[in-house]
Structure 1
Amino acid sequence: MFFEGSEKKAEVFVDPKQLCLLTDISDDFWAALVNCCNARILSTMSNQKCKAFLLSESSLFVWADRFVILTCGETRLVNSVEYFIQKIGVDKLVHVTYQRKNEYFSHAQPSCFGDDIKLLSRYLAGKALRFGEMDSHHNYVFHQDNGFRANPEHKTYELLAYQISSQASEKLTTPGLTASQIREFLQLERLLPGFSLDDFVFKPYGYSVNAIRDHQYLTIHVTPQANSSYVSVESNLNLIERAPLILDILQPASFDLLSFNEFDFQQQTSRFIPDHYISKSLVKETLSNNYQVYFANYILPKKHFSRAIMLDIASDNHAL
């Protein structure tokens, strides 16, 4: 069984003088927005600062002045961004950022990054960049090119783990595994003390959790199948500091780190990333919107030969 865990992401800022996303926008609007990319809302939780929606394909977080949405699978997230622009109006937008990372099977996607930014360019002038090498892990970033200047305190982090250990994969594909058992395995109480959690176990495999505390958020999405295992962690908490725990649990063969406005990225990765991981790709760029973006891909060098993977010729092309 194959599922594309790689996510697309959009962050949209609005003018708080014209619109408050927490009080002026109904849940029906967010449900329609999510439906535009062929996903649906599974559950919701909120506090005074943030509302979190757990989706059939990843997550949506809403604050008074912005929202962040991530979708995986074969969704077309750009359709949801277009819906927001059409319904709310360009005049209320302050800034839009749109991201896509390399997929396992890009040919199965309904669009590519180029298609998506052509659509966005109908509404917004912007710039696009690629972080990472084309023949390896990489992340595309499109951002609106206007007078917006990012607040240096607005930091976000992404940790994307590939080929998790066989022990982790076997645990997370155990039949009948409950949400509480997955929380314990991922050590979420240690990782997120004091946070409210909302999670869902997918059938036959897969797990998603949203966590919020005041304005802080963290979301984890797990695709545990051994042939395409992938775990994404996205947060405004410092994931570099938390990387040793996450990596110890998952033991991935490789992982990516992407940060916005973490100015001590190099010092922190030197301190917190275990020495047995080697950096294969390092990219640093200050965008015209004042975000300083770092991207790093780490690999675990192979010391022993492995066996070739036998393919089922009669199955669909996802297996090939």
Structure 2
Amino acid sequence: MAGLFSSLNVGDAQYAVSVTDKTQAETMQLCTPTCSTNGTHSDGYTGAFEGPEKLLEMWFASTDSAAMICADSGAELCGDDDQDQWSELRSGLRLVPRAVWRDMLELVHCQVLSTLCNERLDSYLLRQVSESSFFVYPHKLVLKTCGTTTLLYAIPRILEIARRYLGVTGVYQVFYSRKNFMFPDQQEELHRSWEKEVAYLDAHFPEGSAYMIGKTNRDHWHVYLCGPYQEATTPLLCALDDDSTANNSVEVSPQVCALSRSSSRSTVHSLIEAARVGTPSSPPPSDTTVEILMTGLDPHRMRAMYLGGASVLEGSLGGKAVERATGIADIYPDSASDSYLFTPCGFSLNGLQGDGYYTIHVTPEPHCSYASFETTVSCDSALDLNSSAGVKKLVEQVTAVFGPRSVTVTVFKARGDTAPANPSGLPCTGGADDGGKAKAALLADVDTAPPVFASVAGYKSVDRVLYEFDHYWLRYAYYAKAD
């Protein structure tokens, strides 16, 4: 393909976007297309698209190492459709065949556009009646959909999948959240009111709790929490291949029973040996999520989100052009990203960095403009999610891309009592162990609330709320563009 060229004015700068054969080759290495596209405007589009997403997060164990595989004889794990460079590293929910996930996503009215994976998690960029994303870890999954998707109808199927492939009979914890809808009457019956959604969730999770955060007569945010409970997993006997010399009578704990038919024999042996000697588990990973929800986007900046703005190419090539032209690519420059420019407009992105993800969805039409940015990336020193300066920098970078009139920011952070008293298994104080004091200081700080939100350039603070739940902190803020 000959190089294609287009230009875009964003703010006071003009960006020249060049798409070449090399760009196409790089894009194909990053993500694997799995279906055709028709953008956000599918059959039945009314001209009023619901940008605010429904977000469901379901955990089946406290950490990825606590996830385990039942792998019954009828399961088709890691078939041809599932093979990639990370196949040998997969465990837990990551071993569920992609065909099974696609079947579940049909219940939500979503289909897979492409996948992006690394050694820690898998991501799926979705489409149908919405711009959507799906993330799968060994122990949890995150499903985020906008438009008129029927997200909650996926819960029974997800529970069934977890029973079959993880051997669990319940959940460890559940989160469901969404901003107030712009067009609630256009939703399917279940999602037309928060009360109906809560009733449905309560039917599956009787001990859950529902909250509304923010002003009832302005933009606000709904959240539903359930758990955490004790580990939902139950110990299983992890058998090796018939020709293995390992002692198959060893019953290992859920923390090391993350095994599958694709696991190498050396990996299996090392895990079982760790169970015998009681090797301490590693510290739990950071559990902080920042979400930035924006409405009233700058129409000039949103030209990039239309086909013919940053690029004349629909799909992944157009998505890469949007990333470069708008400054999205500069937010996490060290990450791998999978993005998509829809016809006639709309943009989605999934990004992976370490054990974290970030995702962006954009509805650019002026009468219903909306954009969301969500991140769990904790390994980026420039954007520390647990510092006021890091969150401030992130919010300012994101708002500079979209120029919204109003901004909602939420920070969810796990409290210290969700972590083991001594997660490293090593001494925390005393003697000549210089690292002990550092560990003690770290453990003393794990129950610190998310930092107070700093001022955001160009915006005034309208609303601020801090919630102290049993196991999580939640800081909420609402900003309006300064006159």
TM-score by length of 1: 0.86
For 2:403, the equivalent position in structure 1 comes to 251
Q: Pick one of 90, 95, 99 that aligns with 2:173.
A: 95
Paired letter, 1:122: A
Q: Pick one of 276, 282, 285 that aligns with 2:467.
A: 285
Runs of 4+ with deviation above 6 angstroms = none
Q: Pick one of 243, 264, 270 that aligns with 2:454.
A: 270
* Residue 250 of structure 1: how far off its partner (Å): 1.6
Paired letter, 1:282: R
For 1:201, the equivalent position in structure 2 comes to 341
Paired letter, 1:287: F
Between the aligned partners of 1:210 and 1:250, the Cα distance in structure 2 is 17
State yes or no: 1:46 paired with 2:117.
yes
* Residue 168 of structure 1: how far off its partner (Å): 0.9
Q: Which residues in structure 2 correspond to 1:90-169 (within 5 Å)?
A: 91-110=169-188, 111=191, 112-124=193-205, 125-145=207-227, 147=229, 153-169=286-302
For 2:68, the equivalent position in structure 1 comes to 18
Q: Pick one of 231, 247, 266 that aligns with 2:371.
A: 231
Q: What is the SS of the residue equivalent to 2:178?
A: strand
Between the aligned partners of 1:118 and 1:240, the Cα distance in structure 2 is 36
* Residue 160 of structure 1: how far off its partner (Å): 0.8
* Residue 241 of structure 1: how far off its partner (Å): 2.9
Per-residue CA distance 1:129-159 (angstroms, 9 max, x = gap): 111111111111111145369x793100100
Between the aligned partners of 1:96 and 1:24, the Cα distance in structure 2 is 21
Q: Pick one of 39, 51, 55 that aligns with 1:9.
A: 55
Between the aligned partners of 1:189 and 1:120, the Cα distance in structure 2 is 37
Distance 1:194 1:146, change over 3 A: closer
For 1:311, the equivalent position in structure 2 comes to none
Between the aligned partners of 1:119 and 1:52, the Cα distance in structure 2 is 27
Distance 1:197 1:152, change over 3 A: closer
Per-residue CA distance 1:104-151 (angstroms, 9 max, x = gap): 1111111232222222222212100111111111111111145369x7
Greater share of helix residues, 1 or 2?
A: 2
Q: Pick one of 400, 409, 413 that aligns with 1:261.
A: 413
Between the aligned partners of 1:145 and 1:156, the Cα distance in structure 2 is 17
Between the aligned partners of 1:191 and 1:32, the Cα distance in structure 2 is 33
TM-score by length of 2: 0.58
Distance 1:240 1:156, change over 3 A: farther
Which shifted more, 9-18 or 40-49? 9-18
What's the % identity of the aligned pairs?
A: 24
Between the aligned partners of 1:53 and 1:233, the Cα distance in structure 2 is 16
Q: Pick one of 302, 321, 326 that aligns with 1:181.
A: 321
Distance 1:9 1:185, change over 3 A: same
What RMSD over aligned residues (CA atoms) do the two structures have, in Å? 2.2
Q: What is the SS of the residue equivalent to 1:270?
A: coil
| Contact 2:449–2:473 under 8 Å retained in 1 | no
State yes or no: 1:190 paired with 2:271.
no
Gaps of 5+ in 1: 303-320
Larger radius of gyration: 2
